[in-house]
Amino acid sequence: MARRVGSLVPLAAAVLVLLVAAGAGAAGHDDEAAARRTMEEFAGFPASDGVDGERSSSSAAAAFYVDSDGLQRQIDELASFSDSPAPSVTRVLYSDKDVQARRYIKGIMNQLGLTIREDAVGNIFGHWEGSEAGLGAVATGSHVDAIPFSGKYDGVVGVLGALEAINMLKRSGFQPKRSLEVIMFTSEEPTRFGISCLGSRLMAGSEELAQSLKETVDNQNVSFFDAADSAGYKMHPEDLHNVFLKKDNYFAFIELHIEQGPILEKEGIQIGVVTAIAAPASIKVEFEGNGGHAGAVLMPARNDAGLAAAELALAVEKHVLESGSIDTVGTVGILQLHPGAINSIPSKSHVEIDVRDIDEKRRNTVIEKVHQSATEISKKRGVVLSEFKIINQDPPALSDKSVISAMEFAAKQLNLEYKLMISRAYHDSLFMARISPMGMIFIPCYKGYSHKPEEYASPEDMANGVKVLALTMAKLSLQ
């Protein structure tokens, strides 16, 4: 144990020295001998290959950089596989463009010498075998599917950036102990089949999803299996179980992602270390009343389904605020009235509610209170609560302490300012947390924009994220 701790400190010093040397900053010359020894010992640099130590150290330093131009070129190329014109990106699960994007990612994995595996639904794994391949691997990854008319960075930074992180470690001569793996997840976005994080949800062993996929069709009545088949993934429903992963498969999972919110940019902080991912619950509610003529039916005689919905929307806000936590949020994003005429009392209303929190119990308490309110409102207003359906209620996830400390360690070594923060959007990491210690690295994005063509992350911010990811993986790989 003491030896292991001791070995990590010089590694850190080594990487720091390498990075400082690679940049324009002043190098800590005192540490260079130790750095060289450590890199030789742990990162696989040749002890002597005809050059003196000074030069082999600086060539390693020269190799430990992010190829920002290359990364940007790849991001732009990937963005060209789109069903909508640039600068927007539309790339829907199992479409031709999705297939082209998959081919592109596999091409890069191939160039990097990674061993490629694809599971039944098309989750793609690029594997770099460590010296102790029997140990759980350190994995990273994200998605490249894109909702209609969105941008080119969401998810993509966590796939192409992860591949660049691998490239960087390879260039610097790093040799992993635990294997490293880059995952491209199938269908993080719910666009085609209404199921978000389809690939990671299955990996995490969702039997419920494996069952429901048998009946799932898209809005053109194309079944999930036919769609997969057309993209080259021919499978039997039973094959879905082969997607499930065992809990000890990964030692850690880290996802690099744009923040999709304004905090980092506003505060001028380079890295977000995510400590928890909030999870949504969605609810559908319907009220029914008698409707009637807006002039003829007097107020005491009405049972207005629209007013019941309006009152419920206010109740959602009230219950969320009563939780007392800034992390609890609730939204009524859909409120539809039937028949929807100015001179007709609404006879039906349809409300959809999204409640999120990082604390599952607190979120579920809000949902119970909303349910109570819906019942009370329906009684008071003489309308029927014809539906109160919880569509999904995924548990939130906490990042693992060991992964958080590896990410903090990396940011510190790189002299990057970082902030512990919560992910209020959810990601494949939410599901990976069910089967692996998990952590996420956020980078700033322009004005917090996401899911629209204006989405943007600067090359510098992406490079910082890639470096933190590379170091985090290197550190965890040696544990």
Our CB check for Zn ion shows the closer of 10 and 158 to be 158
Q: Which is nearer to Zn ion, 190 or 292 (CB)?
A: 190
Match 């002299």 to its residue by tokens. Answer: 415
Nearer to Zn ion, 155 or 161 (CB): 155
CA separation, residue 307 to residues 38, 287, 351, 369 (Å):
70, 10, 12, 19
Residue 238, number of CB atoms within 10 A of its CB = 9
Identify which of 199, 205, 186 has the alpha carbon closest to the alpha carbon of residue 247. 205
**Of 155 and 439, which CB lies nearer to Zn ion in the complex structure?**
155
CB of 156 to Zn ion, least distance (A): 9
What residues between 294 and 333 interact with Zn ion by CB under 5 A?
A: none
User: In the complex, what is the shortest distance from the CB of residue 427 to Zn ion, in angstroms, rounded to a whole number?
Assistant: 6
Least separation in angstroms between residue 188's CB and Zn ion is 5
Q: Which residue lies nearest Zn ion, judged by its C-beta?
A: 155
Residue 313 CB, nearest approach to Zn ion (Å): 28
Non-local (6+) Cβ contacts of 290 within 8 A are: 302, 303, 345, 347
Binding residues with Zn ion: total (CB under 5 A): 2
Closest CB 189 distance from Zn ion, rounded Å = 8
Residue 48, Cβ density class (10 Å: 0-12 exposed, 13-18 middle, ≥19 buried) = exposed
Kindly state whether residue 465 participates in binding Zn ion, applying the rule CB under 5 A.
Answer: no
For Zn ion, the binding residues in 134-163 under the rule CB under 5 A are: 154-155
Q: How far is the CB of 257 from Zn ion (least distance, A)?
A: 6
Identify the three-state secondary structure at position 472. helix
Quick one: 155 or 176, whose CB is closer to Zn ion? 155
User: CA-CA distances (angstroms) from residue 444 to 1, 163, 363, 420?
Assistant: 37, 20, 28, 13
Q: How far is the CB of 377 from Zn ion (least distance, A)?
A: 36
Provide CB contacts within 8 A for 52, sequence distance 6+: none
How many Cβ atoms from other residues are within 10 Å of residue 447's Cβ? 13
Tell me whether residue 260 or residue 347 sits nearer to Zn ion (CB atom). 260
Residue 192 in 3-state DSSP? coil
Per DSSP, 255 falls in state: E
- Of the two residues 154 and 461, which places its CB atom closer to Zn ion in the complex? 154
Cα separation, 476 vs 479, in Å, equals 5
- Give the residues lining the site for Zn ion (CB under 5 A): 154-155
